[in-house]
Structures are given as structure tokens and as C-alpha cells.
Amino acid sequence: MRTQVAIIGSGPSGLLLGQLLATIGIETVILERSSREHVLGRVRAGVLEQGTVDLLGEAGVADRLHTEGLQHSGISLAFDGRLHRIDLTGLTGGKHVTVYGQTEVTHDLMDKREAAGLVTVYEASNVAPRDFGGASPFVSYHKDGVTHRIDCDFIAGCDGYHGISRGSVPEGALKTFERQYPFGWLGVLAEVPPVDHELIYANHERGFALCSMRSPRRSRYYVQVPADERVEDWPDDRFWDELRRRLPSQTAAAVTTGPSFEKSIAPLRSFVAEPMRFGRLFLVGDAAHIVPPTGAKGLNLAASDVRYLFAGLREFYSHQSEAGLDAYSAKALARVWKAVRFSWWMTTILHRFPETGEFGQRIQEAELDYLVHSKAASTALAENYVGLPY
């Protein structure tokens, strides 16, 4: 088989790239290791920057997002027993964020791809990008006991942090940067109304907590837990008790509890691989970088990578120019590092670190106090949270 761009991974990066390329008539084949159901069963991000919403619109997949997405003009930071609101819209000259689950984004993209008759091979095993250092790359994979080969012009490695693409790059060609955090987030989804109409990020002596949502009837809540914690040790009652203990008393009293229908623990990590291009192989989204979820940036960074790569491929196919492709890695990384910094900083000010002594604790308190009382500091948070320009 032959295609123009072979895409590895059908997460948001791969699907969005495929859809944008389809709008300008460029053929793609997506190879996905898991089943469609498995990909849709993963609960992940919930906050979209305006740039991400616009890009989904450009790809023709924003109808449901526009009707069901919740526009938020602020977030609250909870500490010292009360809520401190950050007026995102007022501080950024009218910008806001949209709350719409990654699962829904993925669903919309898959539906659109299927309706257009575009090829996605699910449950493809041993996917391997090959010969991308030269002019004739191809991807091999196994399916139903048969080895297949797809020849292509370019390969997009959209296969996430645990994917094969980054690992296929010759040793020494890649520099990686990493920070592990000594805790994870235990998250639950429950069919109960959210405690507040906006998100609440809480810093408490028992640890961080986040009140988020998926709709006016569905809540997403998280609490910081030690990195080695097990989900089995967290029955619903224990989760709700711990969440409420970490919130200001008035907020805690307003939490509606109910049975959870998803519960998982995500580790927190910052990771960047440089560069994001090797010949005709491009790394996109989590395949190249991971941020802790505190800044709600993972999915949005995947979208900005896709936008830069899409622009480069469009220029290549319409004007036979490689300038955009040549600029891809540097452009994407400039934005990535700013989000890595912001996510690391949000994580640092909102979580309790085991090694923080009394001095570090006072510094954190001073920073939070400064943040909510200084317009300059609040503005810096707001402009990063709504998303830096592309």
C-alpha cells in the first residue's frame, strides 16, 4: 500500500493531523496499536485553549464542541481556607477556555474520519517506522498474522509517550530532558453536578486537589497521592472524604457525591525530546513531550504541534517548499518549553512535596499570596492558562 503521510497513533494528535490533511486532499493512513474502544475508554484532558478549538473548527469537527463545550472565564485557587478567583477573561483582554473532554474530541475526530472513508488500522502490532533518513520511508506492521508495508512521503509519530517512533531514532540523535514528581493524581469521574461552575485548584496541607467537570451533570475530581499508591485502596467513600478535607469548608459542604464510574492514577512527569524531526519522521504531541496535568497543557500542546506540522506539509505539497518542515522542530519546541515551564511552575506552587521543609513551605505560601494579590502575577498565570499564541 502507498499513502502520502503515514500516521502512527490514533490519539488526538494523529486524528487531528489526519483530518486537517484530508481538508486539503492529502492522503493518510493511521496505524493504531489498540482497539477503537480502548482508545475511547481512556479518560484524560478536559480543558481546551481557544487555539485548539479553532484548529478543531478548521478540521471540521467542532459542531458538538460548540454546542456542548462549556466556556469558562475564570478559575479559582483554593488556599488559606477560601477561594481566590483568577479572572482569566478580564486579565487577558477577553479570552476564555473551553471545558470539553479529550474523549469527546477523539470521538468527534474518529466519527469524521470514518464518515469520510479514511483508513485507520486498529490493533496493528509491531508498527515500525523505517528508512526515514532517506527519501523513501515506509512503515511496517503486523495484522491478523500478516506483515504489511505502507510506503509514504512522510511519517508522523503521533504514538504518545510509550510509542515506538521516538525509540526508532538512531541513538545519539536525540537529547532528552526529564523531571519526575514524587506523586500522582488519583482521578474519578462521577455522574454528579460539579461543585462550582468553574475549576478549583486547591493547595492544602493534605495535598493538592482539583475540582473539574465534563458537563453540568458530570464531575471530574482529582487528589494528589504518593507515586506508589494503588487505586484498589481508594473506595469511593475514602476518595470523597479526602477531597472534601482538602477544600475550603463552604466548598466541601457543597460537593455532591455519588458512585464513580472511572477511577485511575496518573503519574506526573515533565519530559522533552529534542529535536522533533529526523529526516522524514516527525514526532508530534506526547511522543515528543509530556507535562504534568496541572496546567492543562498536554492536549493543547499536541494541537499546536499538529498545527505547525500541518502548515509545513501543506507548504510542501502545494509549493514544493521544505521551509515549513525545516522550521517545524524549532517552532514547536519554542512553544513546548514555555508550556513545560508553566506546567512545572503550577505543579510546584499547588502541590505538597515530601522534601519541602518549613522554609520552602513559607515560600510557597508567599508565592500564592503574591499571585492572587498582584495583577501582574495573576495576568502571567492567566495568559499562560488560556494559551500562549502560536
Residues numbered 99-138 forming contacts with ligand RFL, rule: CB under 6 A: 102, 124, 127
Q: Which stretch binds ligand PHB (CB under 6 A): 41-49, 119-127, 280-288, 330-338?
A: 41-49
Residues numbered 13-42 forming contacts with ligand RFL, rule: CB under 6 A: 13-14, 31-34, 39
Binding-site string for ligand PHB from residue 289 to residue 318, where x marks contact by CB under 6 A and - marks none: ----xx-x----------------------
Residue partners of 93: CB distance under 8 A and separation at least 6: none
Helix 298-319 vs helix 323-350: crossing angle, to nearest 10: 170
Q: Which is nearer to ligand RFL, 25 or 228 (CB)?
A: 228
Q: Is 9 in the site for ligand RFL (CB under 6 A)?
A: yes
Minimal distance in Å, beta carbon 210 to ligand PHB?
A: 6
Q: Is 324 in the site for ligand PHB (CB under 6 A)?
A: no
Minimal distance in Å, beta carbon 298 to ligand PHB?
A: 8
Answer yes or no: are the C-beta atoms of 86 and 77 closer than 8 Å. yes
Residue partners of 172: CB distance under 8 A and separation at least 6: none
Residue partners of 124: CB distance under 8 A and separation at least 6: 31, 32, 33, 141, 142, 143
**Which of residues 212, 224, 260, 347 is near ligand PHB by CB under 6 A?**
212
Binding-site string for ligand RFL from residue 263 to residue 302, where x marks contact by CB under 6 A and - marks none: ---x------------------xx------x--xxxx--x
Count residues binding ligand RFL (CB under 6 A). Answer: 34
What is the distance between the alpha carbons of residues 206 and 246, in angstroms, rounded to a whole number?
6
What is the distance between the alpha carbons of residues 367 and 386, in angstroms, rounded to a whole number?
21
Which among ligand RFL, ligand PHB, none contacts residue 294 (Cβ within 5 to 8 A by kind)? ligand PHB
Residue with the closest Cβ to ligand PHB?
46
Is 72 known to be catalytic? yes
Q: Which is nearer to ligand RFL, 266 or 365 (CB)?
A: 266
Look at residues 118, 53, 26, 52 and name the one whose alpha carbon lies nearest to residue 315: 26
Is 197 known to be catalytic? no
Q: Is 211 in the site for ligand RFL (CB under 6 A)?
A: no
What is the distance between the alpha carbons of residues 216 and 74, in angstroms, rounded to a whole number?
16
CA atoms within 13 Å, Cβ hemisphere of 268: 29
**Phi/psi at 201 (5° precision):** -105, 115
Residues numbered 219-248 forming contacts with ligand PHB, rule: CB under 6 A: 220
Burial of 125 (0-12, 13-18, 19+ CB in 10 A): exposed
Q: Which is nearer to ligand PHB, 119 or 380 (CB)?
A: 380
The single residue of 297, 308, 328, 351 carrying the catalytic annotation is: 297
Q: Is 255 in the site for ligand PHB (CB under 6 A)?
A: no
Kindly state the cell numbers that stand for 12: 488526538
Other beta carbons less than 10 A from residue 267's beta carbon: 13
H or E stretch covering 185: strand 175-190
Which residue ranges make up the site for ligand RFL (CB under 6 A)? 8-14, 31-34, 39, 44-46, 102, 124, 127, 158-164, 266, 285-286, 293, 296-299, 302
Q: Any idea which residues carry the catalytic annotation?
A: 72, 201, 293, 297, 385
Which residue ranges make up the site for ligand PHB (CB under 6 A)? 45-47, 199, 212, 220, 293-294, 296
